[in-house]
Amino acid sequence: MATNTALDVVMPQMGVSVSEGTITKWLKSEGEPVAADEPLLEISTDKVDTEVPSPGDGVLQQILVAEGETVDVGTKLAVIAPEGAAPAAGLPSAEQPPPEKTPEPATARAAAESNAAAGGEAVTPTAETTEATPARTPTAETTEATPAPADAPTDGAADGKTFVSPVVARIASEHSVDVGQVSGTGRGGRVTKKDIMAYLEAGPQAPAKAPEAVPERAAGATAPPPPPAPAPTGAPPRPPSPEPAAAAGEQLEPMTAMRRGIAEHMRRSLDTSAHVTSAIEVDMSRVVGIREKLKKEYQSAYGVNPTYLAFIARTAVETLREYPWVNGEIRGETIVTRNFVNLGFAVELADGKGLIVPVLKNAETLNLLGMAKGVAQLAQRARDKKLLPDDVQGGTFTITNPGGYGTFHGTPVISQPQAGILGTYAVVKRPWVVQDELGADVIAIRSMMNLTLTYDHRLVDGALAGRFLRDLRKRLETWDESSY
């Protein structure tokens, strides 16, 4: 049948017990037109060899699994596109072929598929949250399942069995009765349902001991802990994580999934990398001037702002070329470096909901304009909640801007598994010592900005970090607008 959308060709199941098949021969090549039901390829399974017919009319747009490969039933083998569709140049492989790929992928495209940063969840390596202060400590008392007190029954039964059956436990808890106070006529002196019902009927002198008393008595018990029994204070079965109670003046709210994700990543990152931060002051006056000049042109011609981030990103990417370890990664005992930069940059979400770090892939191919556009588009998508998983994975280096609110220094958390994160801060006019045309020292007003590089000292030493920052600064301070 005619296709309007792309059709998948999948490995068929040639028999109920067959779980995989091998491609023996592709009968068509990429780009060739195919008709519905026309044989596309030959396969071999452990039951039979056969041909696989095309699911529809169109063009064999892409072959995803090569001859000789064995894949599971249901694996996508190829894509049939409608007539006239361009061959897919930039499509990433949907299914990974059997893993023989080297740790250092040969092509940029393949590399774009390599390890995600933090598992899909939004990550924010801002300075503010490096010190995680727990909001409140949950109170444990009401939820701990304490063993029932080993209270000797009054009739002094021989083996001192202190088992409390489920129904007795429930009745005791419903009526706030201390089972230890009830005399037991059951086997081994246990308190039976009858006993506790009789006790309740016996009347008001039954002491309504507070549940909190029980743990204290348990502490004093001498008998061996009884077989697992729900505590008299215990309520009906609880979900695994006990919920804390709010003390006076406190409000409780559950953590969102994003917050939990951030918390987990922050902790893990600090536990993984040896975080060290170096800072440098950059005279941004030149950039400020160029930026002013470009603003109007960029707005009218391209609809984007030439932001400071774009300038810094551009120079950072240039500089990373010479400092591949800062764009690198530690995998086991191996150091991974790349000839591409997937640049992550932090975006603050509305309503203080958190931060997300979209990734601009292959940032090394972008000039200033490309950087500005790329950043603007991704940021907009982030705010519109239209980011795809691909947009937040695969970063190799991150830039964050803790200085948005005027701060001049910070120590961001590295986004694992990267090796460094660049922090930018407020551009502030400061009095600065400069040289005049005669070489003498004078005070001038300069637009100054601090930059920090927080780096993983397992891989990047202070000297390297210092040189990186030095070169980065140089580029910013001597920005040549004709070449970018």
Compose the 15-34 pattern: x for residues touching another protein by CB under 8 A, - for all others.
xx-x----------------
| 441 in catalytic set | no
Compose the 34-73 pattern: x for residues touching another protein by CB under 8 A, - for all others.
---x-------x-xxxxxxxxx------------------
Report how far apart, in Å, the C-alpha atoms of 240 and of each of 98, 144, 145, 147 are. Answer: 39, 11, 12, 18
Q: Could you say which residues in the range 209-268 bind another protein, by CB under 8 A?
A: 236
Selected range binding another protein among 4-12, 127-135, 297-305, 336-344, rule: CB under 8 A: 4-12
| 461 in catalytic set | yes
Q: Which residue out of 49, 72, 390, 461 is catalytically annotated?
A: 461
Q: Which is nearer to another protein, 164 or 368 (CB)?
A: 164
Task: Give Cβ neighbours of residue 69 (< 8 Å, ≥ 6 apart).
Answer: 22, 23, 97, 98
Q: Could you say which residues in the range 67-106 bind another protein, by CB under 8 A?
A: 74
Residues 192, 278, 305, 447: which binds another protein (CB under 8 A)? Answer: 192
Write the Ramachandran bin of 159: left for phi over 0, alpha for psi from -120 to 50, otherwise beta. Answer: alpha
Q: State whether residue 216 is helix, strand or coil.
A: helix
Distance CA 382, CA 388 (A): 9
Q: Which is nearer to another protein, 75 or 315 (CB)?
A: 75
Distance CA 349, CA 280 (A): 28
Residues 70, 130, 165, 305: which binds another protein (CB under 8 A)? Answer: 165
Smallest distance, another protein to C-beta of residue 14, A: 5
- DSSP per position, 160-204: ------HHHHHHHHHTT--GGGS---SGGGPPPHHHHHHHHHH-T
- Asked if 49 and 20 touch (Cβ cutoff 8 Å), the reply is no
Q: Which residue out of 8, 275, 457, 471 is catalytically annotated?
A: 457
Q: Which two tokens stand for residue 241?
A: 């994580």
Q: Could you say which residues in the range 113-142 bind another protein, by CB under 8 A?
A: none
Smallest distance, another protein to C-beta of residue 174, A: 10
Smallest distance, another protein to C-beta of residue 59, A: 17
Residues 88, 91, 132, 167: which binds another protein (CB under 8 A)? Answer: 167
* Number of Cβ within a 10 Å radius of residue 378: 24
Selected range binding another protein among 7-15, 81-89, 151-159, 367-375, rule: CB under 8 A: 7-15
Smallest distance, another protein to C-beta of residue 192, A: 6
Q: Could you tell me how far CA 476 lies from the centroid of its own chain? A: 32
Smallest distance, another protein to C-beta of residue 18, A: 6
By residue count, the chain amounts to 484
Residues 187, 268, 293, 386: which binds another protein (CB under 8 A)? Answer: 187
Q: Please report how the helices 193-202 and 166-174 are oriented relative to each other, as an axis angle in degrees rounded to 10.
A: 20
Q: Phi and psi dihedrals of 106, rounded to 5?
A: -75, -40
Residues with a catalytic annotation lie at: 457, 461
Q: Give the interface with another protein as residue ranges (CB under 8 A).
A: 1, 9-16, 18, 37, 45, 47-55, 74, 165-170, 186-187, 192-194, 236
